[in-house]
Structure 1
Amino acid sequence: VGGTFTLDADGAWRTMQKIKPGITVPMHYKIPGLSLPISDLDPFLAKNRFKVLYVGNEIDIEKEELPKEREIWVFTL
């Protein structure tokens, strides 16, 4: 969602509206210490109207545990 080399926040949201995923995992955005000319996660999350979960750096999930409503899962390093 950082733009430049990948979809920007607007493009990611348009894509989400088309495919309607149950879980969205944003990728390729600027984090502290990264010097690439890309955007951070804030513009993407500013458009958000779904629940946001910060899930750490890995997660195990079973089919029965999938959310009933759409969510955004943000992984951390």
Structure 2
Amino acid sequence: MGGKATGALLGLAIGDAPGRPTEFDDVDAIACLTGAFAGAHLGAGAWPAAWVERIEHRDELLEFGALWD
């Protein structure tokens, strides 16, 4: 699911909860951060195989990530 779609879904799920984001741009940023945290926790191996080859600069990103392992 794309960032905007995920953000929209998150916005609908949050509803009118106190402190909820007021614009979809805010929700999109939250969705992107959520994805980043999930990726950091689960690692590159969690990506579906069909997506892995489509990641731009994949080799460089994996090299950079290996520095933190």
- TM-score tier by shorter-chain length is under 0.3
TM-score (norm 2): 0.26
Q: Which has the higher strand share?
A: 1
- Flag the structure with more relative contact order, 1 or 2, with Cα contacts below 8 A and sequence separation at least 6: 1
Structure number with bigger Rg: 2
Q: Which has the higher helix share?
A: 2
TM-score (norm 1): 0.24
